[in-house]
A and B are shown apart, each in its own frame.
Chain A
Amino acid sequence: MHILRNQKIRGIIFQLLTILGLLAFLWYIGSNTVANIEQRGIQTGFDFLNGTAGFSIDETPISFSETNTHARVFLVGLLNTLIISVIGIVFATILGLIIGILRLSKNWLVRKLAAAYIDIFRNIPVLLQIFFWYNVVLKSLPGPRESINLFDTIFINNRGFIIPQPHVNTTFIMVTCSFFVVFIIVFFINKWANKRQEETGQDFSVLIAGLILLFVVPSLTYFISGANFDFDYPALKGFNFQGGKSISPEFLALTFALVIYTATFIAEAVRSGIEAVNKGQKEAASALSLSEYQSLKLVILPQAIRIAIPPTINQYLNLIKNSSLATAIGYPELVTVFAGTSLNQVGQAIEIIAITMLVYLTISLVVSAILNWFNHKMRIKDR
């Protein structure tokens, strides 16, 4: 047989040629880039990270001033990206769950309203939604002096929302910790309840127990630790507010748009997860005389979750990536301050965009790793 007719050898030759072609292409653009950079006098390397930024940032979770370095700009941007992502994910999940469940409601009107919500908001580009909240809704709010006043604690005006800010004291720290303690306790109660259910068939309502704990433990902690909540209330002084924590319109517009947009996809995932459970499963559950609640908890949801979670996690990833659209309205997250302002100052586009992409890639890889772990854990165990 002729050597070129051999499948294996043809495969090797083809791959070698591809590699050669790729290398030649990389060499071509590499050498061009080097020549271009030299000619334009652009600096190279990562020294710029230690250079002074020379600009200020409006919203910083950590202290930042003009004299700080670009490395700190990066850190501020990254933290803001993470903040908006976490808040967005939490609220999008809550809203998505609610809408997804309402979508399957027995009530015709509620079902149709949920469907309308999904059909309207998933078909409008998220950037347009961001602009709409920012340029139309939030800008049309009254000025600081005519703020919408909610019980003298929360003020809403066209410069954002101003909410009371708690002083971090013993009570505050203790109560915050007690919430985490409750979550840990509920986790173990859940484990115990599942075990008991499997052994004896007796049901234990973790949800109700959890809600009671969630109410009782923090309030007990509150009284034990001195009942000393100290808030810094906002107050109108002159033309603007003093005290309190102000939430910028940029942040609000971005959060509203991302939450409302992403929730439509999560709602669809929830709905399709529940609908995907075979009708026979429901019928079998009711044939075993499980109550509606038992059949939902023990038969439907465990199967629905397996189907609904992977697309939901993908939506979390999309939300994180979409948070980069903040650059259009100037919320100071990674793309705005680092790939925007810093890049304009330093001009080292290749390094800065590479770092930015690397950050998102890392986040994506971590999230996919979680997803794979979940799929592995939840896969149907054939016996």
Chain B
Amino acid sequence: MAIFEQKKTRTAPSNTQGIIPWIRENLFSSPLNSIMTFLGIVFLYWIIPPFVQWAYIDANFSGTTREACTSGGACWVFVKMKMDMFMYGFYPQNEIWRLKTALGLFIVLLVAFKFIRNYKISFLLLNIYFLVAFILVNGGFFGLEHIPTDKWGGLMLTVVVAAVGIICSFPIGIIVAFGRASDLPIIRSICITYVEFIRGVPLITILFMSSIILPLFFPEGMTFDKLLRALIGITLFQAAYVAEIIRGGLQSISKGQYEAADAVGLSYWQKMLLVILPQALKVAIPNLVGAFISLFQDTTLVLIIGLFDLLAMVRITAADSTWLGMETEGYVFVTFIFWAFCFTMSRYSQKLERQFDTNLR
């Protein structure tokens, strides 16, 4: 017969309040943990002080020429002097106010959206904004000088490519997602082929195709702008990913919703647009933001087909004979911009995810 042996009582838990117990609990709870903490501190010490030294303490901020950079740290003067290039590429100096106006209008629009609750008006305003922005940036109307797209560049080009990519790919993506979920076998297989093809090849091959092969598809004399060709490629690429995300959203909608919509006698498009899509989009929005982040990162690829986006500007500005060897500063600056954009968006998508998560319960 087993004899009951009382185990030793555990000691009372150590004090968990205050800073020192917190440190003990979270940094030195075991020998292994102590070693890891130590290694972590060494790593931080190895990375952060030199970087701060280079980027801030030893850095040069004032001045206008290379000669102002004497202290051996980063030469931010370079970035300061080339700021217009980084932001607007080769856009003519006198016309930059147009880009600033377009940006200003966008901020006004965002503020206005806070107050306008009617989505039809919002949608209309958004479309008007796109028209106005296009006229401002491209010119050619109302006496504004036409600026050819080979002058566009820098962050502005990056934003244009990303914005056009996401906006144009959205309707295509929705239609393809509907097609993939449809009962009609031919429509479904066309949509599946499209999505799987695009998702199976790298973006760069699609950009090569749109920049080299696309002109062959159309009759002689019909020319496409280089930027337009890149935009077509990016849009077709992004549409496949958007379609796949929306399909995920569609799948999460219960069958009862479809049946209920049929039961009240809605047509196919009424059913999809008024009942199914709004619910599917709600599920899909965090992933759509994620897709937008990757698109924003993928815009850098346009430099391979010869457009001057923000990343390409580093090489161009550092090739200036008065500023040779300033690539490091350029890359660090551009890295920070890309990072700031993508990080903000990814935090936003996490926030949305949490919001929708609680709503569903």
Contacts and interface: CB of A to CB of B under 8 A. Distances in A.
Contacts of B26: 106-109
A349 B342 contact: no
Contact of A364 (B33, B36, B199, B335): B199
A110 B26 CA distance: 10
Contact of B217 (A33, A105, A123): A33
A343 B43 CA distance: 46
A107 B335 contact: no
Nearest to A135: B327
B294 to A, nearest CB: 9
Given A113-B43, A128-B300, A349 B212 contact: yes
A350 B216 contact: yes
A261 to B, nearest CB: 9
Given A11-B183, A108-B27, A360 B202 contact: yes
Secondary structure dominating the interface of A: helix
B217 A15 contact: no
Contact of B208 (A131, A135, A339): A339
A127 interface: yes
A132 interface: yes
Contacts of A356: 205
A322 B205 CA distance: 11
Contacts of B331: 128, 131-132, 135-136
Contact of A113 (B27, B40, B204, B296): B40
Given A128-B335, A132-B335, A353-B212, A32 B33 contact: no
Interface residues of A, number: 52
Interface in A5-39: 11, 14-15, 18-19, 22, 29, 32-33, 35-37, 39
B276 to A, nearest CB: 18
A331 B212 CA distance: 22
A66 interface: no
Contacts of B41: 109
A361 interface: yes
A361 B197 contact: yes
A124 B342 CA distance: 7
B187 interface: yes
Contacts of A353: 205, 208-209, 212-213
B186 interface: yes
Given A107-B27, A109-B41, A128 B311 contact: yes
A335 interface: yes
Secondary structure dominating the interface of B: helix
A93 B197 CA distance: 26
A249 B200 CA distance: 28
A34 to B, nearest CB: 9
B37 interface: yes
A246 interface: no
A234 to B, nearest CB: 28
Nearest to B206: A357
- With most chain A CB atoms within 10 A of its CB, the pick from B199, B212, B216, B338 is B216
A123 B338 contact: yes
A29 B311 contact: no
B184 interface: yes
Nearest to B203: A321
Contact of B338 (A39, A107, A128, A136): A128
A324 interface: yes
Nearest to A335: B204
Interface in B1-41: 26-27, 29, 33, 36-37, 40-41
Contacts of B37: 107, 109-110
A119 interface: yes
B80 to A, nearest CB: 20
A32 B219 contact: yes
Nearest to A323: B202
Given A18-B186, A108-B26, A109-B27, A350 B213 contact: yes
Given A123-B346, A136-B331, 6 more contacts: A18-B187, A122-B342, A127-B301, A321-B201, A321-B203, A349-B208
25 contacts: A15-B185, A32-B219, A106-B29, A107-B29, A107-B33, A109-B36, A109-B41, A113-B40, A113-B43, A123-B293, A124-B342, A126-B297, A127-B300, A127-B301, A127-B303, A128-B338, A325-B202, A325-B304, A327-B204, A335-B204, A353-B205, A353-B212, A360-B202, A364-B196, A365-B200
